[in-house]
């Protein structure tokens, strides 16, 4: 980098980029000071510092229960997506079979379809199966939603792995399973970790589809927060958001340190 003074055009560009970043981040960042506010209404800037809204979360068991539901669904759905996505990626990258392109498109449709269509469809399918208002039903739906992310990162990583590495392992005495275990999987790990992160976030955050599947006694955290906001709009929501923001940030930083998340978007 040269240290020459920026030209007017560069300054303009820097200003523009700064504004865009501010626009993207501001609503999220404003939540944090609100969470520590003393006011019962959402006033910015807050007039004092308190932790009472965090305490309020603990006093309301429905939040803890909704968090448990969301976390359970996210972890179980992600685990299923991980296995299914990895196996599907192996098939898509390693083999050429009739209908391959069509099938890949089918796997990817949840990314393109309007969420509301998917929500209605899933409700109609899960209802006769008796899976409405059940954890199992939510998990089924979330597998559909998270699979494309898992599949995409797994396919991207797998395509980068030189086939001759697996062949080399085989000539050295490793059977298919040991080749996968000792060569393919370690090389696939960064991509899978990124896929897991996306999948957990997508599932935990999901709103539209879950709304059709939940009911009294079974709420996900985003829906519980929405319900709460219909009656009371106080900084409790900001406090929950701040916690979620913190958890997400930690997850992304850890993954970035481990494998470099940025690569997944290139």
Partner 1 sequence: MVDQIRGEPVGVELTRVAKSYGAVPAVRGVSLAIEPGEIVSLLGPSGCGKTTTLRIVAGLERPDAGEIRIGRALVNTLPPWKRNIGMVFQSYALFPHMTVAENVAFGLRMRGVAGATMDQEVAAALAQVRLGGFGERRPSELSGGQRQRVALARAIVTRPSVLLLDEPLAALDRQLRESMQIEIREIQRAVGITAIFVTHDQEEALTLSDRVVVMEDGRIVQSGTPAEIYERPRTRFVSDFVGFSNVLDGRVAEGGRELGTVTLTAGRLVPVSLAPDIAPGDEVDVVVRPEKVWVAAAHEAVPTAGHAFPGTITHSVYMGALTYHHVAVEGVGRVVAMVPNVEPATSGTLAVGSAVLVGWRPESALAFRRNDPGARAAS
What's the distance, CA 251 to chain centroid? 11
> Smallest distance from the beta carbon of 98 to partner 1, in angstroms?
14
Residue of 66, 126, 183, 223 that binds partner 1 (CB under 8 A)? 183
| 117 in contact with partner 1 (CB under 8 A) | no
The window from 1-9, 124-132, 182-190, 207-215 that contacts partner 1 (CB under 8 A) reads 182-190
Residue of 6, 186, 246, 260 that binds partner 1 (CB under 8 A)? 186
Complex with partner 1: residue 86 or 184, whichever CB lies closer: 184
Residue of 12, 51, 182, 258 that binds partner 1 (CB under 8 A)? 182
The window from 20-28, 108-116, 172-180, 236-244 that contacts partner 1 (CB under 8 A) reads 172-180
**What's the CA gap between 216 and 133, in Å, rounded?**
8
Residue of 2, 4, 164, 266 that binds partner 1 (CB under 8 A)? 164
| Residues binding partner 1 (CB under 8 A) | 162, 164-165, 167-175, 178, 182-183, 186-187
């Amino acid at each position: 980098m040269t240290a020459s003074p920026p030209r007017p055009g560069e300054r303009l560009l820097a200003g523009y980029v700064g504004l865009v970043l501010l626009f993207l981040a501001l609503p999220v960042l404003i939540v944090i000071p609100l969470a520590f506010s003393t006011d019962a209404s959402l006033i910015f800037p807050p007039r004092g510092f308190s932790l009472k809204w965090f305490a309020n979360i603990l006093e309301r068991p429905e939040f803890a229960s909704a968090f448990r539901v969301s976390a359970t669904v996210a972890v179980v759905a992600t685990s299923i997506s991980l296995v299914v996505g990895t196996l599907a990626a192996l098939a898509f990258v390693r083999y050429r079979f009739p209908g391959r392109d069509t099938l890949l498109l089918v796997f990817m449709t949840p990314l393109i379809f309007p969420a509301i269509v998917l929500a209605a469809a899933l409700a109609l399918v899960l209802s006769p199966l008796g899976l409405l208002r059940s954890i199992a039903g939510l998990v089924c739906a979330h597998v559909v939603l998270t699979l494309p992310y898992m599949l995409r990162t797994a396919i991207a990583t797998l395509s980068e792995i030189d086939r001759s590495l697996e062949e080399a392992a085989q000539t050295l005495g490793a059977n298919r399973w040991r080749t996968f275990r000792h060569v393919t999987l370690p090389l696939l790990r960064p991509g899978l970790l990124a896929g897991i992160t996306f999948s957990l976030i997508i599932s935990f955050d999901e709103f539209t589809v879950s709304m059709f599947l939940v009911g009294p006694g079974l709420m996900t955290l985003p829906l519980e927060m929405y319900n709460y906001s219909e009656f009371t709009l106080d900084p409790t929501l900001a406090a929950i958001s701040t916690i979620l923001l913190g958890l997400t940030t930690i997850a992304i930083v850890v993954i970035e340190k481990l494998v470099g998340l940025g690569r997944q978007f290139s």
